[in-house]
Structure 1
C-alpha cells in the first residue's frame, strides 16, 4: 500500500470507527433483526446421528426445512430421520465418513442429484479423546483434525460454489469454548477447534473480499456439553450444557445471521476481560477455578 493510501486510511479510521460503533448500538437497541425464514431450504448437518447434531437436525426439521443427515453411524442417523418424518418433516439420511475425502465427494454428489443444492451447511461432527498429549497415539490426533477441522474444507468446497451461484447461503461451524482458551488434556481437541474457528473467520473475510458477502457464517462456541464426548469435568459445580440448549442457540444464531454464538453468552464478556489479564493470571484463574475435564483417554482402549 502506497504512503498516501495509508495516510488516507488513517484519516478515515476514526470516522469509520464511530460509524460502526453507532450502527452496532442502534441495531442492538432499535433495529433488532427478525429471524430469517428457512422453510423449504436444504439444511445439511454433519454428525446428525446423536448429540448436538441430532438436536439441530430436529429443530430445522420442525421449521419445515429439508434436512440432510450425515453420520458415520447408520442406525443413529436413520433414527433421527425417522423422528423428523414422524413429526411431519422431510429428512434424508446418508452414511458418510468425514475422514475420507472420496466418501465426502461421493455422498455430496448424491445429495446434489437427489435433493438439490445445500442452502445451510452445518459442520457439526466432532470427536474428542481427552488425555495427556504425550500419551496419545498419532492416529487419534490425526483423526481429531480430520473430523473436527479438515472435513470443513471438503464439505465447504462441495457446497459453497452453488451458494455463490445463487448468491445465498449459510455455513455454520460448531467450534468450542476451548477454541478461545486452550485447555489441558484437550490439546488435540482445542487445537482442532481453534483451527475450525479460524477457518470460518477467514472464510467470512475471503467471501467479503471476493464480493460474496451474501454468504453468511455463524460459529458456535459452547462450553462442555453432555453429548457423551466429555465424560466428566473437573468443576463438579458447573453442570454440562445439554445438546438441546446448544442446538437452540445455534439455530437461533443462524436465523439471526450472528457471526459468533457463545454458550453461555456470559462467557463472551469474561473472555474480553481475560484478554487484558497477564497470561500467568489467566493460567492461575483456570487452575484455581478447577476448570477443565478429567482424564478419559487410554490409548489401549481405542482402535
Structure 2
C-alpha cells in the first residue's frame, strides 16, 4: 500500500509540473520594469553578484554595490557603467554589523531610498564538521544569514512606509537538502530560507503586500569558491543560467526560485517522507505510552 501511495504522489507531482508548465506557456507572467529603481547588491565584486549587477545595469537600474573586495568591486562597477548604469560603490565587510549599518546610513543620506535589496554575499567552507574551524563557522553565519537580517532591518522601514520594495534572499539548495562535509554551510542556508519565509509571512500579516520577496535556491554554482566542486544535489551550474532564472523571478515577483526547477518536486517528495516519518514516530510513541499504562 505504501508503494502505491508513493507512486500516486510521484505521478501527481509530475502531472502538476506539466500543468504548471502549460499554464506558464499559454499565460506568461507579467514582468515589472526596474529601470530607475535603486538596487543594492551585496557581494557584487564577483560571481553571481557581478552577473546580477550587470543584468540590472542592462535594464537601466541605479546601482549601489557592496563588497569587501575593492578590486572586484571596481571591476564590476566599470562594467556596469559601460552599460550606461549609474553606480555607487561601498567597501563593506558583511560579517560586521557596524559596517553594514554605517554604509546603509550613507546610502540613505547621500543616494536615496533602496527599492530593491539583493542579499547575495555569501561564504563557504567545505569540510567535515570537526575539521571546520570555529571562526569559519562564525563567518558563515555572520555573512550567510545575519548580514541578511542587518541589511533588511536597515532598508525595510522606508519600504514599509511606502508599501513598496523587493527583498531578495540568495540562499541555496543546501537550504532544503543536506550534503556531507558542509554541515555549517547547510545550517546557515537553512536559516536563510527560513528568514525569507518568515519575512514573507510577516509582511503579509502586516498588510504590506506592496513589498515583494524572492528567495533563490540553486544547486552549487561554478563561482570559483570551491575547487573541483561536486555534489549529489545535481550538476554544477554556470553563473549565467542562474542569473537568468533569478532575474525572471524578481521581474515576476516569484517567491521561491529553484535552479534547476525540478528541485521543487524533489522537495515535495522529501516533505512527504518527513511527514511519514513523523507520523510513524507519533504512532510509536503512542503505542509505547499505551503499553506503559497497561503495565
| TM-score normalised according to structure 1 size | 0.80
Query: CA RMSD for the aligned pairs?
Result: 2.3
Residue 294 (structure 1) aligns with:
none
What is the rounded CA distance, in whole Å, between the counterparts of 1:258 and 1:102 in structure 2? 31
2:165 — aligned with what? 169
Q: Which runs of 5 or more residues in structure 2 are unaligned?
A: 1-19, 278-295
**Alignment size in residue pairs:** 258
Contact 1:119/1:170 (<8 A) preserved: yes
Alignment-derived partner of residue 159 in structure 1: 155
**Match in the other structure for 1:111:** 107
1:47-86 equivalent positions in 2, closer than 5 A: 47-86=43-82
Whole-Å Cα distance in 1 between the matches of residues 204 and 138 of structure 2?
Answer: 31
Structure 1 unaligned runs (5+)? 1-23, 282-303
Specify the SS of the correspondent of 1:275. Answer: helix
Q: How far is the alpha carbon of 1:137 from its aligned partner?
A: 1.1
Cα deviations by residue, 1:81-100 (Å, 9 ceiling, x for unpaired): 01111121111111001111
- Return the structure number with greater relative CO, CA threshold 8 A, min gap 6: 1
| Partner of residue 284, structure 1 | none
Which residue among 266, 269, 279 is the counterpart of 1:270? Answer: 266
Equivalent residue number for residue 181 of structure 2: 185
Native 8 Å contact 1:176 1:222 kept in 2: yes
Matches within 5 A, 1:141-290: 141-234=137-230, 239-277=235-273
Please say if residues 46 and 125 of structure 1, whose CA atoms lie closer than 8 Å, have aligned partners that are also in contact. yes
Secondary structure of 2:32's match? coil
Q: 1:102 aligns with which of 93, 98, 102?
A: 98
Distance 1:114 1:167 in 2: 22
Does structure 1 conserve the Cα–Cα contact (< 8 Å) formed by 2:32 and 2:252?
yes
Cα distance in 1 for partners of 2:256, 2:241 equals: 16
Do the aligned residues in 1 keep the contact of 2:222 with 2:229 (CA within 8 Å)? Answer: no
> Match of 1:129, SS?
coil
- Partner of residue 35, structure 2: 39
**Secondary structure of the structure 2 residue equivalent to 1:116:** coil
Q: Does the CA-based 8 Å contact 2:119-2:168 persist in structure 1?
A: yes
Change (3 A) 1:55 1:165: same
Measured against aligned partners, the alpha-carbon deviations of 1:111-133 in whole angstroms (never above 9, x if no partner) come to 11221100000000000010010
Residue 224 of structure 1 contacts residue 230 of structure 1 at CA under 8 Å; is this kept in 2? Answer: no
TM-score where L is the length of structure 2:
0.82
Task: Give the Å deviation of 1:239.
Answer: 4.1
